[in-house]
Amino acid sequence: MDKTDLNLLKEEKTKALNGESYIDIGDDHWFLGLNTPMRADAFAISDTEKKEKIAGLFSQIMVVLGMDLTDDSLKGSPKRVAKMYVDEIFSGLNPANKPAITLFDNKYQYNQMLVEKNITFYSNCEHHFVPIIGKAHVSYISSGKVIGLSKLNRIVQYFANRPQVQERLTNQIAIELKTILNTEDVAVIIDAKHLCVSSRGIKDETSSTITSYYGGAFKTQAKITELQNYLKD
Catalytic residues: 125-128, 166, 194, 196
φ, ψ dihedrals at 98, nearest 5°: -65, 130
Q: CA angle at residue 72 from 63 to 131, to 5 degrees?
A: 60
The DSSP secondary-structure symbol of 68 reads -
From 161, 199, 165, select the one nearest 84 (Cα to Cα). Answer: 161
Radius of gyration of the chain (CA): 21
Other Cβ atoms less than 10 A from the Cβ of 153: the count is 17
**Is residue 159 within 8 Å of 173, Cβ to Cβ?**
yes
